Amino acid sequence: MITDSHAHVFWNAFDEDRNEVLRRARVAGVERMVLVGTNLETSRQAVALAEGEPGVYPTAGIHPHDTAEAGPEDLAAVEELCRRADVVGVGETGLDFFKEFSPRDRQEELFAWHLRLARTLDKPVVVHCRDAHERTSALLAEHRGVRGVMHCYTMGPDELPAYLDLGLFISFSGVVTYPRNDENREAARQVPRDQLLVETDCPFLAPQGKRGRRNEPAYVRLVLERLAELRGEDVDDLARATSANAAALFGLPPLP
């Protein structure tokens, strides 16, 4: 069993062949997927898609790119979604100081809002961090005790302790397969097995060998294989371990 812990299969990039994409994932051994909402509309789409698909679980949240446009009604609606029993996480939230599509202060305000909501609901938070390590780690430390995952971890080993010490899971994507990302690969070697997850972040960040194409959940197997090679572990054992970690974090049914 493989679990893609972060996917956006509701994206319009999949409109023409979504059912076939899901079929290919299952053929590749990807039996569970977490569909991550990025604003009110996509959070609703994630919930709707998961309702009809076994092994597919939604989250709801507002990505840092979308925080400038999110008003009180959006926040209330996202909170309502997060309170649903079938919604397994809060987010995607966090900070993005690279593209900075929304002002930094608004990003930080809504990141803290998501963290408080995650604590209230006792659900994990899905954290996006790009060029914002210091503020991301500081805000997480201010909300110590909130469970969650650093999704699509792209940093190196030096930044890891700030997140591992808070008990957060670390999720690796196709980025770990790219030739010039030695620091990211070293981080992947150092993450404790019981805090490790894998993801695609599809339709983005297709792994090496698929770059230039639309990413899809079936390709998470390539990430898993690279991680197993880096860590000197058996692929099947690591697949089961990361799936067990995803089940523990998101409150999914126990593995068969």
In this predicted model, what pLDDT tens digit does every residue of 173-231 receive, in sequence order?
Answer: 999 999 999 999 999 999 999 999 999 999 999 999 999 999 999 999 999 999 999 99
Across the range 91-100, mean pLDDT stands at 95
Largest CA distance in the chain: 49
**pLDDT over 90 (residue 100):** no
Match 């698909």 to its residue by tokens: 53
- Gyration radius from the chain CA atoms: 17
Query: Quick one: which of 216, 188, 226, 218 has its CA closest to 2?
Result: 218
**Would you list the domain boundaries of the chain?**
2-250
Positions of E strands within the chain: 2-7, 30-35, 56-60, 89-96, 125-130, 148-150, 169-172, 196-198
Please, what's the b/e burial string for 46-56 (b: 16 or more CB within 10 A of its CB; e: otherwise)?
bbebbeeeebb
pLDDT classification of 256: cutoffs 50, 70, 90: confident
pLDDT value for 14: 98
**228, 238 Cβ separation under 8 angstroms:** yes
pLDDT tens-digit readout, 110-154: 999 999 999 999 999 999 999 999 999 999 999 999 999 999 999
pLDDT classification of 15: cutoffs 50, 70, 90: very high
pLDDT classification of 3: cutoffs 50, 70, 90: very high
Q: Into which CATH architecture does domain 2-250 fall?
A: Alpha-Beta Barrel (3.20)
pLDDT classification of 95: cutoffs 50, 70, 90: very high
pTM of the prediction? Answer: 0.97
Across the range 240-254, mean pLDDT stands at 98
pLDDT value for 52: 85
Q: What is the mean pLDDT of the chain?
A: 97
DSSP, collapsed to helix, strand or coil, labels residue 173 as: coil
**pLDDT over 90 (residue 26):** yes
pLDDT tens-digit readout, 37-72: 999 999 999 999 999 899 999 999 999 999 999 999
